[in-house]
Amino acid sequence: MSMLSTGRPTRPDATVSTDAHATLTGGEGLLQHEPLIFELGGWDKTGVDLPPVPDALGADDLGDLVRAEPIGLPGLSEPETVRHYVRLSQQNHAIDLALYPLGSCTMKHNPRLNEKMARLPGFADLHPLQPVSTVQGALQLIDELAHWLKTLTGLPAVAMTPKAGAHGELCGILAIQAAHRARGDAARTTVLVPTSAHGTNPATAAFVGYQVQEIAQTVDGRVDLADLEAKLGSHVAAIMVTNPNTCGLFERDIREIARLTHAAGAFFYCDGANFNAIVGRVRPGDLGVDAMHINLHKTFSTPHGGGGPGAGPVVLSEALAPYAPTPYVTHGPGGFELVEEDALAFGRMCAFNGQMGMFVRAYAYMLSHGADGLRQVAEDAVLNANYVKARLSAVMTPAFPDGPCMHEALFDDRWLEGTGVTTLDFAKAMIDEGFHPMTMYFPLVVHGAMLIEPTETESKAELDRFCDMVTALAGAAKAGDVARFTGAPYHAPRRRLDETQAARRPRLKWTPSSPEAVAAE
Amino acid sequence: MRYLPLTPDDRSQMLAVIGAPDIDALFVDVPAEARLPGPVDLPHVQGELEVERHLSRLARRNRTAGEGPFFCGAGAYRHHVPATVDHLIQRSEFLTSYTPYQPEIAQGTLQVLFEFQTQVARLTGMEVANASLYDGSTATAEAVMMAARITRRTRAVLSPGLHPHYAATVRTMAEAAGLTVEALPMAVDAEAEVLGALDADTACVVVQTPNLFGTATDVTKIGEAARAAGALMIVVTTEAVSFGLLKSPGAMGADIVAAEGQSIGNGLNFGGPYVGLFAVREKHLRQAPGRLCGETVDAEGRRGFVLTLSTREQHIRRDKATSNICTNSGLCALAFSIHMSLLGETGLRQLAALNHARARTLKAAMAALPGVEVLTPRFFNEIAVRVPGNAADLVETLAGNGILAGVPLSRLAPEAGMDDILLLAATETTLDTDIQILSRAISKVLAP
């Protein structure tokens, strides 16, 4: 063994096993065990320094409206705060770490320029109700972004205020409801939704009071035209179809779907969650779509932030445009104006002007790519998905093997038959290999579905690394190495979590469990 | 294109593996007449420098809240957000992760949500809180829908002090769902008037404290009377810092609390993204909308967190779900939670006291102005004043002098016939000199 002159060894001792040395603290190397703030913080500690309040300006004027009882909020100093959240952050997977192939979620790279632009005080430090004369640049940005969205979709209007994809669906369906009402058509009580749809589609339609009826799917994963035609009628307000659909396939007959829908007097709502596959190459307006939400957090790369905030502007056809919600931006003689009242508008989606912070990020992304770059986005997204499909079809069973997929590749679980490994087990084993699993068990129309969406921001090398990993894991599953899967993950911050217990005895907040904790409170 | 890693060589190799002659072969399912032959008519790729230049030019065409004296509130408030908050939310692992579908590798997000839910439950004085909704206005609409599900009744009564944009958001969602919404005529200090509109169909009364006019109200008796009539009381708060000074909605008997959390940890952002706080009584939990994070154990018995009670949600229940909501406002909830952890109870109470003190100074200054009448009887950090003439004109004139002098009520409710009412907020960011400048400027404009 080589030594320094002080006697310190400079080479590791390879004979010491790395297994079976559970740590004494629960932490593992760089990964710290981190308690809750309620177990860490001081009840009288604070990480901010605020000036004192003069006695004369106390809350004596509020009488018994003053909150007398303790609130029970722990505080941390600044260094403790930083450590707490940095330690917690290290227990998350992220796109910045590795491929995050959640189908239907479009987990693409989030450019940091967008973050920088959204934080310019000229956007971030604006109040939504400042005089319009003082926010002309903000309104111009919304107007320019709207122009891009309209041009890319080939539709004449866009409602900017919906705050997420599902909120956009609601906006679109409300516009459709308003249009029917405006022409005195109150008999339309049904919305048709394919069985493969996102859960938000039927939930949205039902929320607004519509009956939801399902449209069957063909064996090749598309809307069954005959079934659609049979179910259309004067009772149908709209159809909600995702295109490309949740099987990752383009609805070949989409123009016929639109024609039949319009012939029945209904509107065509398109779920635009998968717009990334066609942006810059296909305009939904050319397909006969009347309304479509655009998830700015998917196609236009605003960060997903652990589950929001998103943004879901909705493009609208000529027939629906008059009913768009307030507020919206227009050009007036003295500059941009914000229209807050409009008798035809179906109402208001939220208090203010929509997700401005997301608008800035999405617009920075669009400007960066340009029309040519966005077209390349769609092409590379589709190319990457087909590459993954081609490579993995050697070891997995594609749900729809014939023809190309769009931006995501869908596999079923036939290839796992007899192995004792389920889709869930396989996903958990992927975690051990350092990847986020694909979307599991969705869409519902495919058994044990595995929906892989790599996005265009993955290099060929990363895709190969992923495909090599899945291929190796598939080999292990087929070779009977079952425990690798059924017990997985072994190497994540937590082993598999008990969701049944969580639901049976819901513990949705911290409560002091020990007498010491109670006393401390 | 700097965000696209594939090289032309990669693309050819990949097409070869796929067995496609060219990229067009992968778009073969698109109807021929809908395939665009080339890029749409928009500018082409631009470098960082050019993008930054363009957006900075637009940003400069706005007057920021921080540039001078600033008094806007009415549902969005300018507070100081510690630098730590914005730094931490930009950690890659928080910023670029998604909804925690795989809890074993999302414990960071999940633990934050669990802590957030606990903080919100305690702040609002309620038994349970969800993992956030889009904002305060949509949270209010969801609360009304939830009350209708619980009571199986069809009518909502909105108080005279409810923010008009909140009322409009509620009306839009609830009426589309077949509910009746009665919004009472606006008034400064009349939350209890909702009781006069109660009837056997009423699912809920919606009251706001502090309300649009800044008036803080003890709503305990309103809640008691509502429940006696079989309705629920929804309490709305648009200024979350007020929880640090005022009696909590839970302590006043709220059945559901819908609040805007922007004030803590989040900037103004011209109206969004914000974070809706949503808290309920435990017995109503299964009718609640949105994500819920719960504690459980892993296979080795270690504490961990998961999304739970998802049988309420759209991805399981589809058209029977309690709401169509999919995501929450995760990153804004994180910012809220970090700022709340920095403040602690001590800091929050100091911050709230400071806000109230600034507003007292503001109120005294306004009350001293001839012709200006302060209308709000009890307030947290916001007051309504009556000015001679048109408040919107006054605000426009003062904006020309570099002062953002609050929100004219006519901006929110042009039909209310309250064109002479101005809403003014003060926070810890408001300086005594700002208030002096405002007073002098108003005097000057109003001088005969």
Same structural domain for residues B75 and B87? no
Q: Do A165 and B97 touch (CB under 8 A)?
A: no
Same structural domain for residues B109 and B248? yes
Same structural domain for residues A346 and A384? no
Same structural domain for residues B323 and B203? yes
Q: Is B401 on the interface with A (CB under 8 A)?
A: no
pLDDT for the residue A515: 47
Q: Do B51 and A367 touch (CB under 8 A)?
A: yes
Contact partners, residue A426, CB within 8 Å, separation at least 6? A416, A437, A450, A473, A477, A485
pLDDT in tens, A370-413: 999 999 999 999 999 999 999 999 999 999 999 999 999 999 99
pLDDT for the residue A10: 80
- Scanning B52-111 for CB atoms below 8 A from A yields 52, 54-66, 70, 72, 74-76, 78, 82, 84, 86-109, 111
Same structural domain for residues B386 and B419? yes
pLDDT for the residue A25: 81
Nearest chain A alpha carbon to B81: A48
Q: How confident is the model at residue A202 (pLDDT cuts 50, 70, 90)?
A: very high
Same structural domain for residues A138 and A177? yes
Residue A453 lies in a domain: yes
Residue A109 lies in a domain: no
Whether the per-residue pLDDT at A15 is higher than 70: the answer is no
Q: Which residues of chain B have a CB within 8 Å of the CB of A48? A: 82, 342-343, 347, 350-351
Contact partners, residue B348, CB within 8 Å, separation at least 6? A71, A73, B241, B243, B244, B340
Same structural domain for residues A398 and A322? no
Domain region containing A455? 373-503
Give the domain CATH number at A168: 3.40.640.10
Same structural domain for residues A136 and A234? yes
Q: Which residues of chain A have a CB within 8 Å of the CB of B305? A: 497
Same structural domain for residues B327 and B271? yes
Q: In the predicted model, what is the mean pLDDT of residues A115-122?
A: 98
pLDDT in tens, A172-199: 999 999 999 999 998 999 999 998 888 8
Q: Half-sphere exposure (CA, 13 Å, Cβ side) for A506? A: 20
Q: Final residue of a domain: which of B312, B338, B364?
A: B338
Q: Which residues of chain B have a CB within 8 Å of the CB of A111? A: 3
Residue A48 lies in a domain: no
Domain region containing B357? 68-80+345-446
pLDDT for the residue A521: 46
Residue B352 lies in a domain: yes
Q: Phi, psi at residue B223, to the nearest 5°?
A: -65, -45
Give the closest residue to B395 by CA, choosing from B447, B448, B445. Answer: B445
Give the closest residue to A409 by CA, choosing from A398, A421, A425. Answer: A398
Q: Do B348 and A436 touch (CB under 8 A)?
A: no
Q: Is B35 on the interface with A (CB under 8 A)?
A: yes
Same structural domain for residues A255 and A380? no
Centre a 10 Å sphere on the Cβ of residue B176 and count the other Cβ atoms it contains. 19
Residue B153 lies in a domain: yes
How many domains is chain B partitioned into structurally?
A: 2
Residue B35 lies in a domain: no
CB A294 within 8 A of CB A168: yes
> Which of B62, B84, B316 lies nearest to residue A135, judging by beta carbons?
B62
Q: Final residue of a domain: which of B287, B315, B338?
A: B338
Higher model confidence: residue A2 or residue B150?
B150
Whether the per-residue pLDDT at A17 is higher than 70: the answer is no
Q: How confident is the model at residue A19 (pLDDT cuts 50, 70, 90)?
A: low
Give the domain CATH number at A422: 3.90.1150.10
Whether the per-residue pLDDT at B22 is higher than 70: the answer is yes
Q: Final residue of a domain: which of B307, B338, B369?
A: B338
With H, G, I as helix, E, B as strand and everything else as coil, classify residue A451.
strand
Residue A302 lies in a domain: yes
Whether the per-residue pLDDT at A1 is higher than 70: the answer is no
Same structural domain for residues B375 and B272? no
CA distance B159 to B82: 35
Same structural domain for residues B119 and B150? yes
> Which of A78, A367, A496 lies nearest to residue B298, judging by beta carbons?
A496
Nearest chain B alpha carbon to A63: B378
CA distance B195 to B205: 8
Residue A76 lies in a domain: no
Give the closest residue to A383 by CA, choosing from B35, B32, B45, B6. Answer: B6
pLDDT for the residue A32: 84
Same structural domain for residues A247 and A396? no
Residue B308 lies in a domain: yes
CB pairs under 8 A between A and B: 713
pLDDT in tens, B152-162: 999 999 999 99
Instruction: Give the percent of chain B with pLDDT over 90.
Output: 95
Whether the per-residue pLDDT at A506 is higher than 70: the answer is yes
Q: Do B299 and A495 touch (CB under 8 A)?
A: yes
pLDDT for the residue A9: 76
Same structural domain for residues B362 and B306? no
pLDDT in tens, B380-434: 999 999 999 999 999 999 999 999 999 999 999 999 999 999 999 999 999 999 9
Same structural domain for residues B265 and B361? no
Residue A16 lies in a domain: no
Q: In Å, how far is A3's CA from the nearest CA of chain B?
A: 40
Q: Which residues of chain B have a CB within 8 Å of the CB of A431? A: 102, 104-105
Q: Which residues of chain A have a CB within 8 Å of the CB of B306? A: 497, 499, 502
pLDDT in tens, A292-327: 999 999 999 999 999 999 999 999 999 999 999 999
Same structural domain for residues B234 and B91? yes
Residue A41 lies in a domain: no
Whether the per-residue pLDDT at A84 is higher than 50: the answer is yes
pLDDT for the residue A513: 72
Q: Do A136 and B61 touch (CB under 8 A)?
A: yes
Same structural domain for residues A163 and A307? yes
pLDDT in tens, A449-467: 999 999 999 999 999 999 9
Same structural domain for residues A119 and A242? yes
Q: Which residues of chain B have a CB within 8 Å of the CB of A123? A: 58-59, 62, 269-270
Q: Which residues of chain A have a CB within 8 Å of the CB of B82? A: 47-48, 78
Task: Measure CA A183 to chain center.
Answer: 36
Residue A145 lies in a domain: yes
Q: Which residues of chain A have a CB within 8 Å of the CB of B428? A: 50
How many domains is chain A partitioned into structurally?
A: 2
Give the domain CATH number at B286: 3.40.640.10
Q: In Å, how far is B439's CA from the nearest CA of chain A?
A: 19
Q: Which residues of chain A have a CB within 8 Å of the CB of B74? A: 129
pLDDT in tens, A89-117: 999 999 999 999 999 999 999 999 999 99
Same structural domain for residues B132 and B156? yes
Same structural domain for residues B108 and B234? yes
Residue B404: C-alpha distances to residues B63, B66, B384, B399 (Å): 9, 10, 15, 5
Same structural domain for residues A387 and A289? no
Q: Do A59 and B292 touch (CB under 8 A)?
A: no
- Scanning B221-240 for CB atoms below 8 A from A yields none
Same structural domain for residues A168 and A238? yes
Say what the ipTM of the complex is. 0.97
pLDDT for the residue A14: 61
Nearest chain B alpha carbon to A53: B354
